[in-house]
């Protein structure tokens, strides 16, 4: 089956097995192995990618259904080798240990911050990351990283609105 | 390897389903793709319904009822503020189904048509008096949601019928509903027990009440004998406990990884009174939050 879609902004055309899931198209057909093959049952979130900006588990996503849509994977997050805000915050906060859950976790965080552009608190972060399992570093550092990015973005918005360079404090 | 067929209309999908006896419908795919992967089912071909999502999605109020297109995602149900206000049990169930990833993919039609006894959406829809629209080669029929479920993984849909919409009650000032559940994990787990309740209060008394149970019977189950106990009275903890006892008697839970049969009955007996209380508090304007605590335990301020 001919599959045409956009991946990380680039048009992709590929012949794939008709019943392929998106994860196997990414990893096996396109050798984009940043997206991880975890439980293969939709439980662990390691294979999370964005389809039109919303998070899906690519292990259960019938590839045929994303034809014509726009997919963002972990490979599309950093620009020209420069980590984005979320990735940099994960590094600063020690939010990755073995790193296996990290690509899916980062994608889920990108979706979370898009969905909640305003203030976010810890219960909300935990709820929105409930579909991503981490088996080594634990969740506290990951949540710290997300809250830090949310604060940075609030500060950025304050700058845009003429409040000067300091993040707003309540 | 299964072929993928991509209908662009409901009529197309029905004729494909009729022409391919070994075909499975795929809406969000979160159940179907998992069943295929784990060998629980086999498909010669897959009928991808995603091209129908613009026709079959949407949450609309129509003449005091809600009409929810079958391809509406669980995420859309979770996000709908008006639905949360008028049918809080439905929003609550949507909020705890799977994970953000699963809610983005999964559809309400898929959740019902898969026939899973522990599915999240049937109990809240049952207490909102839901019906489903089934479109087949000979036209459309509408049946009460309770009549859709026949057994685990089995529904009364007659191939090549397709479930196109769910219609359910919107509640007004004197009504309240809630969905509570018990799970081993808070996320990515099916209900060990799901309980939904709704009440309509007139002049300080419960005029109608519905209680529905998930995961404790071969099908999602309305328990009218239990809800009848509270009708005609204002909320009373003793009557609510009696309703819980009757609900626990009416169901036939299995023992599995999520709990023993006996444990599940005890959880039903515990959750039903909490659900009735929150539904009552909502109906009488004493509990206004969009989401109740999922275990139904309110803090001292009643929130």
Q: Which residues of B touch A111 (CB under 8 A)?
A: 100
CATH architecture of structural domain A2-76: Roll (3.10)
Of A117-126, A152-161, B40-49, B109-118, the poorest mean pLDDT is in A152-161
Of B2, B6, B101, which is closest to A131 when you measure between CB atoms? B101
Residue A170's pLDDT is: 43
Using N-to-C axis directions, what is the helix angle for A102-115 and A85-92, rounded to 10°?
120
Contact: A108, B186; criterion CB under 8 Å? no
* Nearest CA distance, A163 vs chain B (angstrom): 32
Peptide bond just before B115 cis, omega within 30 deg: no
Across the interface, whether the CB atoms of A42 and B26 are under 8 A apart is answered no
A85-160 CATH choice from 2.60.40.730, 2.40.40.20, 1.10.150.120, 3.30.160.270: 1.10.150.120
| A21-43 burial code (b ≥16 CB/10 A, e <16) | bbbbbbbebbebebbbbbebebb
Nearest CA in chain A to B52: A65
Which pLDDT score is estimated for B58?
97
- Separation in Å, CA of A128 to nearest CA in chain B: 6
CB atoms within 10 A of CB B184: 10
Say which of A65, A112, A130 has its CB closest to residue B188.
A130
pLDDT attached to residue A168:
47
Is B276 a member of any domain?
yes
Query: Using the beta-carbon criterion (under 8 Å), do A19 and B29 form an inter-chain contact?
Result: no
Q: Where are the alpha helices (DSSP H) in chain B?
A: 10-19, 32-38, 53-56, 74-79, 81-86, 88-96, 100-105, 108-113, 122-127, 224-228, 237-250, 261-283
Kindly report, residue by residue over B232-246, the tens digit of the pLDDT: 999 999 999 999 999
- The pLDDT assigned to A163 comes to 52
CB contact under 8 A, A108 and B1: no
| Among A residues 45-64, those touching chain B with beta carbons less than 8 Å apart | 45, 48, 51, 54-57, 60-62, 64
**CATH number of B35's domain:** 3.30.43.10
In this prediction, residue A165 carries a pLDDT of: 46
The parent domain of residue B181 ranges over: 175-283
Segments of chain A assigned to CATH 1.10.150.120: 85-160
> pLDDT tens digits for B122-179?
999 999 999 999 999 999 999 999 999 999 999 999 999 999 999 999 877 799 999 9
What are the Cα distances from residue B157, in Å, to B127, B148, B280? 21, 7, 35
Is residue B25 pLDDT above 50, yes or no? yes
Band (pLDDT 50/70/90 cuts) for residue B303 is low
Q: What was the pLDDT predicted at B162?
A: 98
**Is the distance from CB of A106 to CB of A90 less than 8 angstroms?**
yes
- Whether residue A18 and residue B3 make contact (CB cut-off 8 A), yes or no, is yes
Nearest CA in chain A to B27: A65
Question: What gap in Å lies between CA B225 and CA A64, rounded to an integer?
Answer: 47
B interface with A, Cβ–Cβ < 8 A, is 1-4, 6, 26, 29-30, 33-34, 36-38, 46, 48, 50, 75, 98-102, 104-105, 186-188
Instruction: Let me know if residue B21 belongs to a domain.
Output: yes
Least Cα distance to A148 among A102, A123, A115, A113 occurs for A113
Q: What mean pLDDT comes out for the span B41-52?
A: 96
pLDDT means over runs of 10, chain A (170 residues): 97 96 98 97 97 98 98 97 97 95 98 94 96 92 97 83 51
Site from A47, A56, A123 to mutate, B interface, most B CB atoms within 10 angstroms: A56
Q: What pLDDT does residue B190 have?
A: 84
Chain A contact set for B6 (CB, 8 A): 64
Total domains, chain B: 2
Question: To probe the interface with A, which of B99, B184, B257 has the most A CB atoms within 10 Å?
Answer: B99
- A99-134 pLDDT, tens digit per residue, is 999 999 999 999 999 999 988 999 999 999 999 999
B1/A18 CB distance under 8 A: yes
Q: What is the pLDDT of residues B177-221, one digit of tens each?
A: 999 999 988 788 888 999 999 999 999 999 999 999 999 999 999
Q: Is the pLDDT of residue B54 over 60?
A: yes
Could you report the predicted ipTM of this complex, rounded to two decimals? Answer: 0.94
């Amino acid at each position: 089956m001919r599959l045409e879609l956009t991946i990380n902004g680039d048009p992709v055309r590929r012949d794939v097995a008709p019943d392929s899931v998106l994860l196997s198209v990414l990893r096996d057909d396109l050798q984009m192995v940043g997206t991880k093959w975890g439980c293969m049952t939709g439980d662990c979130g390691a294979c999370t990618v964005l389809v039109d900006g919303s998070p899906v588990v690519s292990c259960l996503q019938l590839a045929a259904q994303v034809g014509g849509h726009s997919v963002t994977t972990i490979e599309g997050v950093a620009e020209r080798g420069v980590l984005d805000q979320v990735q940099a915050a994960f590094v600063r906060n020690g939010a990755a240990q073995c790193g296996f859950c990290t690509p899916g976790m980062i994608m889920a965080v990108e979706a979370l911050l898009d969905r909640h552009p305003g203030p976010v608190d810890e219960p909300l972060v935990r709820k929105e990351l409930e579909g991503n399992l981490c088996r080594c570093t634990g969740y506290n550092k990951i949540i710290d990283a997300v809250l830090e990015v949310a604060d940075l973005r609030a500060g950025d918005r304050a700058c845009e609105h003429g409040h000067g360079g300091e993040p707003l404090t309540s | 390897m299964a072929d993928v067929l991509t209908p662009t209309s409901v009529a197309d999908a029905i004729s494909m389903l009729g022409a391919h006896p070994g075909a499975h419908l795929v809406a969000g795919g979160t159940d179907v793709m998992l069943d295929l992967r784990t060998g629980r089912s086999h498909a010669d071909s897959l009928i991808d319904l995603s091209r129908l999502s613009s026709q079959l999605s949407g949450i609309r109020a129509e003449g005091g009822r809600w009409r929810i297109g079958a391809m509406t995602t669980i995420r859309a149900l979770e996000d709908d503020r008006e639905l949360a206000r008028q049918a809080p049990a439905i929003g609550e169930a949507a909020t705890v189904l799977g994970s953000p990833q699963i809610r983005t993919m999964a559809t309400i039609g898929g959740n019902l048509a898969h026939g899973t006894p522990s599915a999240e959406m049937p109990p809240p829809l049952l207490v909102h008096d839901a019906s489903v629209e089934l479109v087949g080669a000979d036209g459309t029929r509408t049946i009460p949601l309770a009549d859709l479920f026949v057994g685990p993984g089995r529904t009364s849909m007659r191939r090549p019928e397709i479930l196109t919409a769910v219609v359910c009650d919107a509640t007004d000032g004197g009504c309240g509903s809630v969905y509570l559940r018990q799970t081993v994990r808070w996320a990515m787990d099916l209900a060990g027990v799901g309980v939904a309740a709704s009440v309509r209060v007139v002049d300080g008394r419960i005029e109608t009440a519905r209680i529905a149970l998930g995961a404790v019977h071969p099908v999602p189950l309305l328990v009218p004998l239990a809800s009848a106990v509270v009708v005609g009275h204002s909320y009373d903890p003793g009557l609510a406990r009696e309703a819980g006892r009757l609900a626990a008697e009416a169901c036939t839970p299995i023992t599995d990884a999520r709990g023993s049969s006996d444990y599940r009955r005890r959880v039903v007996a515990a959750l039903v009174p909490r659900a009735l209380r929150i539904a009552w508090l909502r109906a009488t304007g004493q509990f206004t939050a969009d989401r109740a605590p999922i275990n139904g335990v309110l803090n001292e301020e009643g929130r």
